[in-house]
């Protein structure tokens, strides 16, 4: 059995891990909102103001910090006026990108009501493809302006006398107009601009735009990244290894973006947002409503990505996992009034202690593993078997570890370099097969188990099974 050594310095705390790294997207696709989240106020199924009670309880339990709506592809053709108003007058439209009927029952007010219930930050995407700047400005005025205008009076008639607080705004596909113009109405909003606007569209070779053509002092620059590594079900070691290589490539991409932005902006590097991310399997199509299997492999990818985002907490401030329910790398799957949790949900729940903590200096000595991408001619890539991040909030230290090895366990020793461990608890997410998943028939097939780990002074030891994810919570002593 291979051995790994992790040393953590609790006194050397760095950047804050932004809670908004744990955002989720509500795209108007398939059953992601309708049936998944929204049952309607007149529904006989349990709901609160039309929102399914089970999903509301799930999102509250996770303390979801940010929700992004109405998606990006959908927003290309969405006109916000269709989703406001009362009395059943909202028009039915064609949902062009996802080939379904959009009844517009879940619009701005319903979204903001959900965010209010969850006490989370909303992110609204404007129509940057078939919409205009005038339409976007009208939306900002309608939603956020506190004075009395025709639009704000209409907002009151539609259900909200008070203006909404919407801190994040973007335009789908980047927009054919300058989204910075939205700040003329509200200087406090964070306008999220596409990374390519600063670095140029042809960035694959490592080059980037000259400083004199770069964006001037953007607040947030965003990009999207989906992982595609074989089918969601019925995959083997080749597809799993391909995912591990993809994670290495994603880490390199993040480092390259940060380096390029440092050259362009010096010590005023904009915050980075991962505006959409997750695993996208070939099963997820417009015909399937982007529904796909979610196995332990997907959960291990999520945990590894979160560890990477933590490592770059000084620069990466927002990330949005797609989607929240029923579509893509979701937290839960519903059918009628029934619901089960995916392994992804357990990763997000287990990672909660990291939110708002300070990234800790640590040193990892990990055994290496080899993986090969599935692309023809690919060579084996060597990488650490373990993915780790450590943070501190008060006297509590959180350590998250992914053993990415497909078949080899790893013996792990953890040493806290200052002070003793007053108490220790841990959870492990694991199954015999990395293809294991939950279902309505077997909703507890992949769930966390409690770890029985006993500290010895300032150290502890554990054995991580192959393809597993563990989180340790350490309460520091007085030393």
Distance CA 290, CA 328 (A): 6
3-state SS class at 272: strand
C-alpha torsion angle, residues 28, 30, 36, 37 (rounded to 10)? 10
Grade residue 479 by pLDDT with cuts at 50, 70 and 90.
low
Query: Are the CB atoms for 176 and 130 separated by under 8 Å?
Result: no
Q: What is the pLDDT of residue 203?
A: 47
Distance CA 191, CA 169 (A): 5
The pLDDT > 90 percentage for the chain reads 86
Average pLDDT over residues 339-360: 98
C-alpha torsion angle, residues 230, 232, 234, 237 (rounded to 10)? 50
Grade residue 213 by pLDDT with cuts at 50, 70 and 90.
very low
Grade residue 254 by pLDDT with cuts at 50, 70 and 90.
very high
Is the pLDDT at 237 greater than 80? The verdict is yes
For residue 230, report the phi and psi dihedrals to the nearest 5 degrees: 80, 180
Average pLDDT over residues 40-60: 94
Q: What is the pLDDT of residue 210?
A: 44
Is the pLDDT at 186 greater than 70? The verdict is yes
Which of 223, 141, 131 lies closest to 183 in space, CA to CA? Answer: 141
Query: Are the CB atoms for 319 and 21 separated by under 8 Å?
Result: yes
Lowest-pLDDT range of 215-219, 358-362, 441-445: 215-219
Total H helices, total E strands in the chain: 8, 25
Average pLDDT over residues 39-67: 95
Q: What is the pLDDT of residue 86?
A: 84
Is the pLDDT at 202 greater than 60? The verdict is no
Distance CA 128, CA 302 (A): 29
Which tens digits make up the pLDDT trace of 155-167?
Answer: 999 999 999 999 9
Is the pLDDT at 323 greater than 70? The verdict is yes
Displacement of CA 249 from its chain's centroid (Å): 18
Q: What is the pLDDT of residue 123?
A: 98
The pLDDT > 70 percentage for the chain reads 96
Instruction: Please report which helix (H) or strand (E) contains residue 412, including its range.
Output: strand 410-416
Lowest-pLDDT range of 213-227, 239-253, 365-379: 213-227
Query: Are the CB atoms for 212 and 198 separated by under 8 Å?
Result: no
**DSSP sequence for 372-397:** E-SSTTPPEEEEESEEEEEEEETTEE
Is the pLDDT at 103 greater than 50? The verdict is yes
Grade residue 187 by pLDDT with cuts at 50, 70 and 90.
confident
Q: What is the pLDDT of residue 118?
A: 98
3-state SS class at 295: strand
Q: What is the pLDDT of residue 174?
A: 57
End-to-end CA distance of the chain: 33
Distance CA 341, CA 318 (A): 24
Is the pLDDT at 259 greater than 80? The verdict is yes
Which of 254, 245, 298 lies closest to 273 in space, CA to CA? Answer: 254
Distance CA 430, CA 169 (A): 38
Lowest-pLDDT range of 213-217, 253-257, 399-403, 441-445: 213-217
3-state SS class at 238: helix
- Mean pLDDT (the chain) is 93
Query: Are the CB atoms for 466 and 403 separated by under 8 Å?
Result: yes
Gyration radius from the chain CA atoms: 23
């Amino acid at each position: 059995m291979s051995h790994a050594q992790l040393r953590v310095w609790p006194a050397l705390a760095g950047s804050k891990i932004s809670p908004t790294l744990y955002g989720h997207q509500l795209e108007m696709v398939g059953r992601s909102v309708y049936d998944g989240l929204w049952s309607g106020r007149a529904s006989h199924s349990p709901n609160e103001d039309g929102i399914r009670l089970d999903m509301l309880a799930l999102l509250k339990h996770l303390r979801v910090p940010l929700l992004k709506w109405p998606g990006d592809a959908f927003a290309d053709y969405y006109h916000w006026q269709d989703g406001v108003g009362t009395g059943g007058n909202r028009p039915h439209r064609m949902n062009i990108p996802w080939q379904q009927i959009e009844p517009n029952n879940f619009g701005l007010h319903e979204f903001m009501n959900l965010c209010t219930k969850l006490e989370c930050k909303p992110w609204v995407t404007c129509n940057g493809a078939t919409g205009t700047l005038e339409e976007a400005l009208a939306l900002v005025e309608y939603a956020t302006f506190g004075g009395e205008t025709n639009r704000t009076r209409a907002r009151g008639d539609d259900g909200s006398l008070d203006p909404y607080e919407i801190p994040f705004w973007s335009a789908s596909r980047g927009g054919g107009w300058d989204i910075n113009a939205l700040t003329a109405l509200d200087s406090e909003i964070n306008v999220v601009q596409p990374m390519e606007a600063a670095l140029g569209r042809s960035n694959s070779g490592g080059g980037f735009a000259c400083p004199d053509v770069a964006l001037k002092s953007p607040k947030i620059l965003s990009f999207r990244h989906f992982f595609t590594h074989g089918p969601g079900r019925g995959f083997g070691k080749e597809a799993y290894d391909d995912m591990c290589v993809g994670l290495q490539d994603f880490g390199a991409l993040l480092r390259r973006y940060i380096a390029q932005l440092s050259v362009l902006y010096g010590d005023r590097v904009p915050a980075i947002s991962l505006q959409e991310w997750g695993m996208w399997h070939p099963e997820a199509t417009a015909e399937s409503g982007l529904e796909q299997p979610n196995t332990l492999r997907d959960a291990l990818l999520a945990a590894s990505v979160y560890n990477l985002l933590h490592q770059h907490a000084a620069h990466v401030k927002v990330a949005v996992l797609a989607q929240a329910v029923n579509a893509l790398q979701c937290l839960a799957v519903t059918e009628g009034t029934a619901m089960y949790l995916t392994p992804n949900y357990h990763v997000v729940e287990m990672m909660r202690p990291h939110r708002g903590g300070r990234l800790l200096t640590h040193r990892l000595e990990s055994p290496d593993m080899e993986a090969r991408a599935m692309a023809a001619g690919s060579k084996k890539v060597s990488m650490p078997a373990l993915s780790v991040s450590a943070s501190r909030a008060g006297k509590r230290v959180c350590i998250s570890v992914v053993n990415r090895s497909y078949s080899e366990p790893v013996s792990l020793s953890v040493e806290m370099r200052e002070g003793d461990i007053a108490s220790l608890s841990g959870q492990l997410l694991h199954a015999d097969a990395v293809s294991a998943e939950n279902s309505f028939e077997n909703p507890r097939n992949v769930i966390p188990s409690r770890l029985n780990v006993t500290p010895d002074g300032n150290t502890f030891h554990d054995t991580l099974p192959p393809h597993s994810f563990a989180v340790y919570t350490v309460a520091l002593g007085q030393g």
